[in-house]
Chain A
Amino acid sequence: MSIKVAIVPVTQYQQNCSILKCESSGKAAIVDPGGDVARILDAVAQMDATVEKILLTHGHMDHCAASDVLRAQLAVPIEGPEREDAFWIDKLPESCQMSGFPHADAFVPDRWLEDGDTVTVGEQTLQVFHCPGHTPGHVVFLHEGQKLAWVGDVLFQGSIGRTDFPRGNHADLVASIREKLFPLGDDITFIPGHGPTSNFGHERKTNPFVADENYG
């Protein structure tokens, strides 16, 4: 038994919120609940899952604005991102107002994550990789058995995350992708924060921002 995943695009940014269910225990995590709580909970019900935690890749509003509401409603902890993203979470009310998102309060996760940590979902274990660049505290989750990664806004099919934010850094982002993610294997499928899934091998060949041919 392994995991089952449902992707629920949420908010006007169509951010890929995921429900990750451990099939043997029925326990689940909600990854990056940026908004649209009713749609997320509907997906959870359709999977017949019991949510035991919320996982966050980073502190941008489209990835985390519904976290605190869900934490209170489901009485579950929030794990992630890495502590350097605290300033983004603190700015949630301002960011939401500026971009036409429903109001969200700032919050403090129950557990900040670090590179090399693991998180559990039921009987499943995910590895945590600190991948700064898009935001300084961005993390990526990997389920090794299923060869599946949640990369947030680090990497997209055919593109990479923005780095024109406060404390964004293009060189750090490229290093995160090429030095931390690509060595995990060409056969790792990834769920990005926006748009379709892909795999690292395909991006190494075709992604104009991080392809092997551009880096000797």
Chain B
Amino acid sequence: MKTMAELDPLRQEFLEQTAQISWRELQPYYARGAVVLVAPGMDLVEIAAQLRLDNKQRFEEWLAEGKVSGVTDAVAASLFEENPTVWAVVVAPWVLVQRITTDDA
């Protein structure tokens, strides 16, 4: 991972705004259809930056590869049951969410 000083202002902004939150606190955003799941191992800040830059082609690739996805009812039910703490960053109107892995700890 790059240090803060190595990031451009856009990515610095998203890095500063990325925080941990429990899934159940995000449920109002899920109900609005605003949550986008990012696969573990992906660079959440880079995905936020590409979303802000409206990089449609890159996003379509990530969607096709399953690296970003919406939240299905089944996944939401599982997340509700488990209520994990996740990484989240807002790229209005979306909230990008990524499960925390042991590598993040």
Contact = CB atoms under 8 A, between A and B. Distances in A.
* Main SS class of interface, B: helix
Nearest to A157: B93
A62 interface: yes
Interface in B1-16: none
B73 A98 contact: yes
B33 A13 contact: no
A194 B31 contact: yes
* Main SS class of interface, A: loop
A100 B33 contact: no
Given A12-B24, A98-B73, A98-B77, A62 B92 contact: no
Contacts of B100: none
A99 interface: yes
A208 interface: yes
A99 B34 contact: no
A100 B32 contact: no
Contact of A195 (B24, B32, B72, B80): B32
A201 interface: no
Nearest to A192: B32
B81 interface: yes
B37 interface: no
Nearest to B76: A99
Interface in A1-49: 12-15
Contact of B81 (A13, A15, A100, A156): A100
A164 interface: yes
B50 interface: no
Contacts of B30: 13
Contacts of B32: 153, 156, 159, 161-162, 193-195
Interface string A161-191: 1101000000000000000000000000000
Interface of B: 24, 27-28, 30-34, 70, 72-74, 76-77, 80-81, 92-93
